[in-house]
A and B are shown apart, each in its own frame.
Chain A
Amino acid sequence: MNQEPDYVNLDPRVEPVAYALPRNPTTRRTARLMQQIWKYRLAYLFISPAIAVVLIFIGYPVIDSLILSLDRWDGLGKSTFIGLDNYRAMFSNTSGLLDSLRITVIFTACTTLGTATLGFFLAVAIAERVRGWRFFRIVNFIPVLLPMTVVGVLWGMLLDPTNGAVNTVISSLGFSPPLWLASPSTALWTIILVSIWQYTGFPMIVFLAAIEGIPLELYEAARMDGANGWQRLRYITWPLVQGVALVLVMLQVIFGMRTFDVAWAMTQGGPGTATTLLGVKLYQSAFLYSDYGYGSTVAVAMIVIIGTIAFVYLRLVRPLVATT
């Protein structure tokens, strides 16, 4: 009777023992993984510090948050395991989580759309070398470099309902000025505007780099074929920067969903809960109420929400990115 060998030689060029793999699929996969690790051991050695950093500063906190979300802990004493109580509290009517989620989605959608659209058109204008393009390139990027606290204080003073420069100008023109940050109906839109003002420079620079990477011959050929400015934008520029745009939107959505600084610096989540983004909710739960278990529950919810959005988005846009 022919007995099957315990190992299968996958590479006929080498001795069977050296690269033999077990027949059991699971053991085989493990053995193959070990072989790969051994083969690229030096590469793994080089990337191990980076992996260690990721595990220590991202992996560990995420897992710890998950564990902490099942506890009650005031941040100083001993924690107590309470099962899913924090999750029950989060989904209760009074938690305000859904309201925060709604506010965050509005904020993210508007800032993403605003920064990406404005950034694209500014990049196109600069690439077209409009008069003063160097000035616009610098001026539009400077806000990105400013710390959010500085931006918060600056805009807080400019938008003071009665004492601020903006409303002074509006009043002098005979219009009734809005209350900006002081009213629940305008506060969210105000921080959206300030965020767009601050972060438009980032997509602008990225789009500009992408546009300037497009071969000039394409534009010259289009011109010779009689294409006008809009047609060149529509049929050359946009298709060639579409891939960049899709990645940018992804990044802006992630930035938007986890925003904390602009709302905290300008309104501390108020008036009332008008600007309580998920990030603010997390901070309030963990630090203001000293309830780190519940704060971790909000953090876990944020990871799940952002992760889901990123996953769905990537699945949707991957074919588009591949074609561009």
Chain B
Amino acid sequence: MSIEDLIGRRELKRRDLLKLAAAATGAAAASRLTGPAAAAFAQHAAGNTTITVEALPGTVGPMWSADAVAWNKSHAAGTGITLKVRIPGGSENDYKVLFPHIAASSAAPDMCWYWFGGAGFYNQMASAGLFVPLDDLYKSQGWDHVLPDAAVKGYVAADGHRYGVVDNVVWYPQLYYRKDAFKKAGIKAPPSDHPYFDSEAEFLDAIDRLRHAGYDSISIGGVNAFMLAHVEDVLLQRMTPEPFVKNLRENWLKSVPMTYRYTDPRWLAVNQKMVDWKNKGVFATGFMGRTELQAMQYFATGKAALYSDGSWASGKGMLGGFAKSLDFAWMLYPKMVKEIEPKFLLYMGNAEEILTHGKHVDAAKKILAYHMSLERQTALARSGILTPARLDIPANAMKGLGVVGYDMWKQLGKVGSAIGWDDPVATKLGQLNYTLMSQLMAGSIGPKDVGTQLQTALIQVRAGS
């Protein structure tokens, strides 16, 4: 039986088909006209432009939201530009891996926050032509003179252009400790101007005493493997000479000689130390089953005496905010060898970019200039959300970072800083290392496996595969 039989031999006439086709075309046209492109057209015609910035959830989102409130209140009417912030859901790593595809699509925002260097996919995005060069803004806004040298010089793309600007700096990882736990365990905490134990033995002794006092040791979110990689990074600074780390940080580039390898005993010793620390109970029970947030909660609720995380964790959006009653302070991971002084690991890759797929490049540049202005960077410091990158912020504004944040910031210059391996290294190596760190700490592979796999990946990256 044919379909004609089923529908009672009614005929679909050509005229009806044409009517249907016309209706479908009309609906499609209406949908197009009411879509985002039409909205942008209508706004432009009315002299109003909306700039959308996409920002990482967590602390970057609130920073941009504060800018949007300030801009829309005082500048939107005069300039005809409205600022809108888009904060996607998901974790930091989701943003890292998924945003490049949004940036390459027709749904790209006008601006974004994205990591400089190898930590994310900045290099690939720049090569794919997704970023607008910001050289003119560097010149007109004087960013060359008000931003840290490393941030200005370190991120010039291979074609000589600068495609992003650093708006905040972070340092990682610190040990946040509960003052009540230290008091109960009878431990004298290191002073701020010398913020670390002078030997591993002293550090391990403190851990033992804290455990005897009824506290769990260092709470860390092992589910987020980058937290483990940060500890590895800090041990690299403490246990190996700077030229060694520097070469490994840069030798994925063909132009840099492969002087050192990941199978070097010094690299393996760092990984072995991670395993030793795990076996000695340096990290809290069950740390491999906790996320960053759960680890923070474990510390804030008084179960763990210490919490390992970056400078962002001390801000109002995190520890400083949800645990107002918590009396905590900070210190650095200990000195491991006599010859090497511990330093802060500074990261200056938190950057803002303008996207070529965005629709309003000139308006976006105005917004970016505003975002990086002394006024907004000072406001950022006062808000305590993040540490602004500009060096000309009034010192009293920096007190907005909170007692702990301000104290760390003051010590940055005195204690000194170094650049870690984890962030500037090629994406493939960094991401592989996260997986390997998780496997190492789970006990499924050993330090030698980590070294061998990283070395294999290094050779592949250098070969361009």
* B residues in contact with A269, CB < 8 Å: 438
Known A-B contacts A270-B442, A289-B431; the reply to A160 vs B100 at CB < 8 A is no
* A residues in contact with B2, CB < 8 Å: 39-40, 42-43
Which DSSP category, helix, strand, loop or mixed, fits chain B's interface? helix
With A and B bound together, what is the CA distance between A72 and B124 in angstroms? 14
The contact of B301 among A43, A163, A268, A272, by CB within 8 Å, is A163
Q: Which chain A residues (172-215) contact chain B, with CB distance < 8 Å?
A: 179-184, 187
Interface 1/0 per residue, A283-324 and B, CB below 8 Å: 010011111000000000000000000000000000000000
Indicate the member of B97, B100, B443 with the most A CB atoms within 10 Å: B97
B318 at the interface (CB under 8 A from A): no
A75 at the interface (CB under 8 A from B): yes
- Is B125's CB under 8 angstroms from A267's CB? no
Interface 1/0 per residue, A66-107 and B, CB below 8 Å: 000000101111000010000000000010000000000000
Interface size (B, Cβ < 8 Å)?
51
Residue of B nearest to A283 (CB): B97
With A and B bound together, what is the CA distance between A82 and B98 in angstroms? 25
With A and B bound together, what is the CA distance between A42 and B4 in angstroms? 8
B288 at the interface (CB under 8 A from A): yes
Q: How far is the CB of B72 from chain A (nearest CB, A)?
A: 32
- Is B453's CB under 8 angstroms from A182's CB? no
Which DSSP category, helix, strand, loop or mixed, fits chain A's interface? loop
Residue of B nearest to A46 (CB): B3
* B residues in contact with A76, CB < 8 Å: 100-101, 104, 121, 124-125, 127-128, 130
Interface size (A, Cβ < 8 Å)?
40
With A and B bound together, what is the CA distance between A46 and B400 in angstroms? 65
Interface 1/0 per residue, A27-47 and B, CB below 8 Å: 000000000000110110010
B156 at the interface (CB under 8 A from A): no
- Is A290's CB under 8 angstroms from B294's CB? no
The contact of B298 among A162, A270, A271, by CB within 8 Å, is A162
Known A-B contacts A163-B303, A270-B222; the reply to A184 vs B289 at CB < 8 A is no
* B residues in contact with A156, CB < 8 Å: 289, 291, 294
Q: Which chain A residues (250-268) contact chain B, with CB distance < 8 Å?
A: 267-268
With A and B bound together, what is the CA distance between A184 and B456 in angstroms? 26
* B residues in contact with A157, CB < 8 Å: 294
Interface 1/0 per residue, B209-244 and A, CB below 8 Å: 000000010000011110000000000000000000
* A residues in contact with B465, CB < 8 Å: 72, 82
The contact of B288 among A46, A74, A270, by CB within 8 Å, is A270
- Is A270's CB under 8 angstroms from B427's CB? no
Residue of B nearest to A267 (CB): B223
Residue of B nearest to A78 (CB): B128
A245 at the interface (CB under 8 A from B): no
The segment from B28-36, B139-147, B279-287, B367-375 that touches chain A is: B279-287
Indicate the member of A273, A288, A291 with the most B CB atoms within 10 Å: A288
- Is A268's CB under 8 angstroms from B427's CB? no
With A and B bound together, what is the CA distance between A271 and B286 in angstroms? 10
With A and B bound together, what is the CA distance between A72 and B435 in angstroms? 21
With A and B bound together, what is the CA distance between A159 and B294 in angstroms? 11
With A and B bound together, what is the CA distance between A122 and B26 in angstroms? 51
- Is A160's CB under 8 angstroms from B289's CB? yes
Residue of A nearest to B442 (CB): A272
B255 at the interface (CB under 8 A from A): no
- Is B287's CB under 8 angstroms from A290's CB? no
Pull 11 A–B residue pairs with CB atoms less than 8 Å apart, ordered by A. A40-B3, A94-B456, A159-B289, A162-B303, A179-B286, A182-B285, A270-B222, A270-B288, A272-B443, A288-B434, A289-B431
The 8 closest A-B pairs by CB, nearest first: A161-B286, A182-B289, A272-B442, A271-B442, A272-B444, A182-B286, A181-B289, A272-B439
Residue ranges of B at the interface with A (Cβ–Cβ < 8 Å) = 2-4, 12, 93, 97-98, 100-101, 104, 121, 124-125, 127-128, 130, 216, 222-225, 284-291, 294, 297-298, 301, 303, 427-428, 431-432, 434-435, 438-445, 453, 456, 465
Residue ranges of A at the interface with B (Cβ–Cβ < 8 Å) = 39-40, 42-43, 46, 72, 74-77, 82, 94, 156-157, 159-163, 179-184, 187, 267-274, 284, 287-291
